[in-house]
Structure 1
């Protein structure tokens, strides 16, 4: 009995020793694997190629750089640097865009411009120069290829890039990059339940100084001279007017929620250029900035471009804005007006694009770490859901925020 007990004790001791060694081995293996995975994740990076060196393209470069996941950033821009920085229009960032970009690292205090109603307005060239300067001194391998149009030969260059690749098309609503990269060209048109018209005035003698916008609401027009009579039963709330743009390039937008008032019907159906020209001219003269000269009929006739009648305001949305191609380990993404755009100019057109860019950094993080088909699908689904949210929000609130409020 004593001998058997001793042998059992030895056997139990050896079993305990084996279990302890196994446990220590598993603990060391698990710890080492966790440490290895952490190091691997921290070192995982992606090459980013951006088509378009405008505000959306350079902001995409800025945000991917800030993500810390881009080992190389290449920007294709068919215009020259001087042409890019001498662009004549102005940018107005709304409050939400300013807060997002400030959190991302944009220092608006060091950008020449003006603040008004919690918005920030500046020359597009000033803003682009700020971004370019930041990219240049970032220490990351950033290449801005000016005078370089993205074409079929450029696509072949992408095939030579080693490792995971993200290509972002930011070449506008008429750009061809999305098609060349394999995204479906089909787009959907969404009604914004409003009608609008736009006008542009160029004053060659003026300087292109950033100018705050001016909004006026509940305007009505007497069109009796054109055969349209105002009815007492019209329930229309009236038109919303916006005058915006810099002092050299001025824009006027008129919009009204869908209704069947006699004035709206007349402005939609009567094709009389003098009628719309007079409306825009009188609106501008009445609500222009105090230091601006009034428009004469002859000046408006020769220097104003405008919509000849009201049109339905719509939002165009590309149905496929993100895709993954397994054979070349490449993600393709459309941003800005390459993804969605209004057919109506409000002066806040950069902001819908920035709404889309708000998910870019997280998307870059997700695709850099994605190793399985499931994780790749999750990244694609995340970006698609955000793009859909942005589109629906713009349809529901875009004109209200940009024109009607």
Structure 2
């Protein structure tokens, strides 16, 4: 009897020992896992905090300089280089006007842009200024950032194969941002395809421009007029019959923009097969579109600017007829150069151009630029391996395609039809 009780007591003691050993093992494992996780998180955080990249931006236009500003504000850029073959004087004298929509204004305010200290004017939450003024302001901000980031602005320097070799021999950049416009050749230097995908915006348009040297380079708000119909009865086209036809689509939309010295006009209508549209698309008489722009400007100009005279009428440049409005965007807007460990992204007019035939391109880069670009800088700087960089570039390309798709659906409506 006593021996049986002893065996039971020994069994109970062994079970307690097993339980204690299991608890100790589980506790030790848990402590080891927690310590490993804490150590890994700390090391990853330290690595991400210390992570820095070099960025080369080709092109110092609005999108290129905005990309530079995003780079220095990201906190992940050790060295920033901006290259442009144009000299500073050529950049700052550009007469074209830039219109910053509310989305762009909000984004730029977050980057530290003070619009109160920039020459321009406000209208309907849009800010209008000359491109040269905008570029000068962003360059001044970059100059101030030299204390925290190694910033080098190399104006008058062309991005060529030789330049790229020099950069690679020193310390090659991890990211190259191509923003040298639709006519730039940086993509070919980097070996990126220059092929464009062309898609219809389901609209017809024409453009006109005129320079009046007796006027000042003063930024002005855009002027818009809608549901316009033109009297072309002298050419055998009657508009009134189509205007009264409920099946006929809305008429033309006019936008007048630019400074008082450099005036631009855009005329757009949705795709239709009305007699007037067919006539203006196929006419061989180049003076018809010039007369339409001439009369439209005098009817809708501001009260403080002079009318177009017969003299200025002859100096007007405009489309010969209505053309199909097309959006062209690069098939490849991001790439990875494996041998050099370089991520490349193509932005602004270098990636997307809206053609109205005469070359007055609409830059789709700026309003959509900030978040994905800043994310690309951060993700590339903190990437563990090449797969992380490839994933970041893939997301950037998807965003570029999304921008093009959104503009095809609503962009022209927002920029011209409203």
The TM-score, its normalising length taken from structure 1, stands at 0.92
**Structure-2 residue corresponding to 1:341:** 353
1:223 and 1:6 map into 2 onto residues whose CA distance is: 108
Once the two structures are superposed, residues 343-401 of structure 1 have per-residue CA deviations (whole angstroms, 9 ceiling, x without a partner) of 13898934544314441101211222222344233212211111111101111111111
2:25 and 2:140 map into 1 onto residues whose CA distance is: 62
Match runs of 1:202-213 below 5 Å: 202-213=211-222
Q: How many pairs does the alignment contain?
A: 404
Bigger drift between 29-38 and 192-201 goes to: 29-38
State the shift of 1:11 in Å. 8.5
1:100 aligns with 2:107: yes
**Structure-2 residue corresponding to 1:393:** 406
The answer to whether the 8 Å contact 2:192/2:332 transfers is yes
> Alignment partner for residue 75 of structure 1, among 76, 82, 95?
82
Distance 1:373 1:278, change over 3 A: same
The answer to whether the 8 Å contact 1:44/1:69 transfers is yes
1:246 aligns with 2:286: no
> Alignment partner for residue 131 of structure 1, among 138, 146, 152?
138
Match runs of 1:4-403 below 5 Å: 23-138=30-145, 139=147, 140-162=149-171, 165-230=174-239, 232-233=241-242, 235-301=248-314, 303-344=315-356, 349-403=362-416
1:280 and 1:322 map into 2 onto residues whose CA distance is: 40
RMSD of equivalent CA atoms: 2.4
The answer to whether the 8 Å contact 1:231/1:262 transfers is no
State the shift of 1:226 in Å. 2.2
1:108 and 1:298 map into 2 onto residues whose CA distance is: 37
Structure 2: give runs of 5+ residues left out of the alignment. Answer: 1-5
Once the two structures are superposed, residues 100-153 of structure 1 have per-residue CA deviations (whole angstroms, 9 ceiling, x without a partner) of 222333222222211001100112222112111111111211100011011111
Q: Secondary structure at the match of 1:160?
A: helix
The answer to whether the 8 Å contact 1:195/1:257 transfers is yes
1:95 and 1:10 map into 2 onto residues whose CA distance is: 72
The answer to whether the 8 Å contact 1:50/1:167 transfers is yes
The answer to whether the 8 Å contact 2:249/2:272 transfers is yes
The answer to whether the 8 Å contact 2:82/2:152 transfers is yes
2:25 and 2:402 map into 1 onto residues whose CA distance is: 57
2:78 and 2:128 map into 1 onto residues whose CA distance is: 32
Distance 1:39 1:299, change over 3 A: same
State the shift of 1:404 in Å. 0.6
The answer to whether the 8 Å contact 2:343/2:389 transfers is no
Once the two structures are superposed, residues 278-314 of structure 1 have per-residue CA deviations (whole angstroms, 9 ceiling, x without a partner) of 111111111111111111123211x211111110000
Structure 1: give runs of 5+ residues left out of the alignment. Answer: none
The answer to whether the 8 Å contact 1:356/1:387 transfers is no
The answer to whether the 8 Å contact 1:197/1:311 transfers is yes
**Structure-1 residue corresponding to 2:3:** none
Bigger drift between 322-331 and 312-321 goes to: 322-331
Once the two structures are superposed, residues 152-201 of structure 1 have per-residue CA deviations (whole angstroms, 9 ceiling, x without a partner) of 11221232354761001100001101121122211111101111110001
1:326 and 1:307 map into 2 onto residues whose CA distance is: 45
The answer to whether the 8 Å contact 2:352/2:364 transfers is no
